Amino acid sequence: MGKFEIKETKSGFKFNLKAGNGEIIATSETYTTETACKNGIESVRKNCAAEIEDQTAEGFETKKNPKFEVYTDKAGEFRFRLKAKNGEIIATGEGYKAKKSCLNGIESIKKNAPEAPVEKAE
């Protein structure tokens, strides 16, 4: 089972959603307080059942927020971001060489986020 891990940084708090194998599936922005960070986690839980908008497909259909956006970065890798109902980006994924791997990352969030416990990083 996956878990959310809250980490204190120099400028605030951020979370990683980790899969059962310890791999990081998604990362948050930096929040100013731990409470705001926990609210971000709740937002991911609430919005993780969202539809996928594949921006790499020609003539893709625009979905309403909340949604996962799949896109390619400057290096040509596939990435995703989860947007909340208000359009804010609440979680992002790493770069993947293959689109299938990127979509698997999204499926992993959908599977792990709803029940994942929250822990503080050491």
pLDDT digits (tens, 9 = 90+) for 21-66: 999 999 999 999 999 999 999 999 999 999 999 999 999 999 999 9
Q: And the tokens for 121?
A: 């990083």
What contacts 24+ positions apart, CB below 8 Å, involve 23-29?
Answer: 24/94, 25/93, 25/105, 25/108, 25/109, 25/112, 26/82, 26/91, 26/92, 26/93, 26/105, 26/109, 27/91, 27/92, 27/93, 27/94, 28/90, 28/91, 28/92, 29/89, 29/90
- In the chain, % of residues over pLDDT 90: 97
- The residue-averaged pLDDT of 57-78 equals 97
115: Cα separation from own chain's centroid: 15
- The residue-averaged pLDDT of 105-119 equals 96
- The residue-averaged pLDDT of 88-116 equals 96
Confidence at residue 122, expressed as pLDDT on a 0 to 100 scale: 75
**Per-residue pLDDT band at 121 (split at 50, 70, 90):** confident
CATH class held by domain 3-120: mainly beta
- 109: three-class secondary structure by DSSP: helix
Q: Report pTM.
A: 0.94
| Nearest CA among 5, 36, 23, 39 for reference residue 96 | 23
Phi, psi of 107 (to 5 degrees): -60, -35
Mean pLDDT taken over the chain:
96
Enclosing H/E stretch for 110: helix 99-112
